Amino acid sequence: MARARQERAEITRQAILDGAAIAFDRTGFHGTSLTDVVGHAGVTKGALYFHFSSKEALAQTLMDEQFQVAEALPAIAEPGLQTAIDMTHRMAFGLRSNVRIRAGIRLVIEFGSFTDPDPSPYNAWIDTCHGILVPAQERGDVLPSVDAYDAATMLVGAFTGIQVTSHVRTHREDLHARVIDLWNFLLPGIVPAERISRFDPAGSPECRSDLGLSAPDSSPAAAG
């Protein structure tokens, strides 16, 4: 009995998060009311307040969720530069297909752009990328002259700008192509010339298969 109640409670919590994601994705934090959330979620305000104390708590949960794309990293025996490339494509895919990721990213940008910006989501993403680039550099796949933290910071900033521009221009229809452009420009600046061909800006075959992406006809950086 208790287990059944817990399962129902979790189903309700997830419905609330889905409803909040739809609302935040459409109208942003300040344009969303709790009435909007319960309307999309199909629950009562009482149920919402049982799980979340405020609109801010809902927003924080969705912002925290945006990093789910990195949860598989510890399972990768030797994360490296291709891991970083694949991760950007997985995030791009999430932005195109998962409203909760879209809402989380929109909230991060909103909360990081106004009077009291919160840098912690960006710092967490930078730390994740830095943790991938360091072993890549230790193996010689990143030039020793490159500061791995600075490169991670640049990568996060570039991806953020690219996805926003893609959203405004094409509703993210071209996002994977723009991510490929990012890596085609970035790899020659941070990777020894003789190693560039090891990395595919379009994503590894496993990544493309997982996401259902077709490989482009040519990939300049990977072609050497």
Its pTM surpasses 0.85: no
Q: Are 152 and 121 spatial neighbours (Cβ–Cβ below 8 Å)?
A: no
Query: Phi, psi (5° rounding) for residue 126?
Result: -60, -45
pLDDT in tens, the chain (224 residues): 788 888 899 999 999 999 999 999 999 999 999 999 999 999 999 999 999 999 999 998 998 887 665 555 555 667 899 999 999 999 999 999 999 988 988 888 887 766 677 788 888 889 999 999 999 999 999 999 999 999 999 999 999 999 999 999 999 999 999 999 999 999 999 999 999 999 999 999 999 999 999 876 655 554 44
